């Protein structure tokens, strides 16, 4: 089985897939494709013109959630989607909460405080950052604080795709010098440290930080 992943490592969706691959101990080739000016050949495989895309023995799988589903079937242990139907539905919901919700807060902070300055050579839009930090993210952190209760991870069954997906978006917040206020959301702040401290995340974060340092 050959696996080839397309997409640059600072994308939270590419990172989500790389964390899954690391958690499952799967080897893969990585093509750090930038999400601009896609070739016709790429668009034929991913008509939404986004990264990531995985090729499994040359067969294309677009979208991080579709890729996650594939990898779970390919390498069922350690399981990242719980077997219990309700827990599994919660895992899929929290994956969506990350990809469609947390991304809307962490993304602007990352784009304005990191990409604008380091990669695009323009001033950051402070108003956009303030809106993300003060309006978009707080209710999402409130929700996560409630989800965690006394648990180490977002689901009672343990580490899952929910932690991978939300944790991956919050790496971009960190890269953009945003943070989870530990005084206001102590459980979320501790959970972020726990998730980002796992070997699967830690290695990637260090690799990305080295790349950012070299670029800036
Ligand atoms: N739902 C998609 C989202 C992927 C996505 O938005 N990727 C961004 C990079 S972080 C992208 O390729 N953007 C290019 C564009 O929107 O033109 C997934 O989970 O794979």
The pLDDT tens digits for 110-138 are 999 999 988 899 999 999 999 999 999 99
Q: How far is the CA of 72 from the centre of ligand 1 (A)?
A: 21
**Number of neighbours of residue 98 by Cβ within 10 angstroms:** 28
Domain 85-215 sits in CATH at: 1.20.1050.10
pLDDT in tens, 28-67: 999 999 998 899 999 999 999 999 999 999 999 999 999 9
Q: How far is the CA of 171 from the centre of ligand 1 (A)?
A: 16
Q: How far is the CA of 151 from the centre of ligand 1 (A)?
A: 31
pLDDT of residue 99: 98
Over residues 77-103, the mean pLDDT reads 98
> Residue whose CA is closest, atom 10 of ligand 1?
11
> Residue whose CA is closest, atom 15 of ligand 1?
50
Ligand 1 pocket member 50 (CB < 6 A): yes
Over residues 186-198, the mean pLDDT reads 98
Please give the Cα distance from 92 to 162 (Å, whole number): 7
> Residue whose CA is closest, atom 16 of ligand 1?
50
Please give the Cα distance from 62 to 58 (Å, whole number): 12
Over residues 90-108, the mean pLDDT reads 98
Provide the residue ranges of all domains of the chain, joining segments of one domain with +.
3-74, 85-215
Report the mean per-residue pLDDT for the chain.
Answer: 97
> Residue whose CA is closest, atom 6 of ligand 1?
50
pLDDT of residue 159: 98
pLDDT of residue 216: 78
Domain 3-74 sits in CATH at: 3.40.30.10
What pTM was computed for the model?
Answer: 0.98
Residue 190 has pLDDT above 90, yes or no: yes
Tell me the DSSP string of 126-189: HHHHHHIIIIIHHHHHHHHHHHHTT-SSSSTT-S-HHHHHHHHHHHHHHHTT----TTT-HHHH
Ligand 1 pocket member 169 (CB < 6 A): no
Residue 88 has pLDDT above 90, yes or no: yes
Ligand 1 pocket member 35 (CB < 6 A): yes
pLDDT of residue 211: 95
Ligand 1 pocket member 65 (CB < 6 A): yes
pLDDT of residue 119: 87
Residue 152 has pLDDT above 90, yes or no: yes
Could you tell me the pLDDT band of residue 162, with boundaries at 50, 70 and 90? very high
Residue 25 makes CB contacts below 8 A (sequence gap 6+) with: 75
Please give the Cα distance from 111 to 119 (Å, whole number): 10
């Amino acid at each position: 089985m050959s696996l080839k992943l397309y997409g640059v490592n600072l994308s939270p969706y590419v990172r989500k897939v790389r964390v899954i691959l690391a958690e499952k101990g799967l080897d893969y080739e990585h093509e750090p494709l930038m999400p601009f000016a896609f070739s016709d050949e790429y668009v034929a495989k991913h008509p939404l013109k986004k990264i990531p895309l995985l090729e499994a023995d040359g067969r294309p799988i677009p979208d991080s959630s579709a890729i996650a589903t594939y990898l779970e079937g390919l390498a069922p242990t350690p399981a990242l989607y719980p077997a219990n139907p309700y827990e599994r539905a919660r895992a899929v919901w929290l994956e969506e909460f990350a990809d469609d919700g947390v991304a809307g807060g962490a993304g602007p902070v990352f784009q304005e405080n990191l990409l604008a300055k380091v990669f695009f050579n323009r001033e950051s839009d402070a108003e956009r950052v303030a809106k993300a930090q003060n309006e978009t993210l707080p209710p999402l952190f409130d929700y996560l604080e409630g989800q965690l209760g006394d648990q180490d991870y977002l689901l009672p069954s343990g580490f899952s795709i929910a932690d991978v997906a939300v944790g991956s978006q919050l790496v971009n917040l960190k890269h953009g010098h945003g943070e989870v206020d530990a005084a206001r959301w102590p459980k979320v702040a501790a959970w972020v440290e726990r998730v980002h401290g796992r070997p699967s995340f830690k290695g990637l974060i260090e690799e990305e930080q080295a790349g950012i340092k070299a670029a800036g």
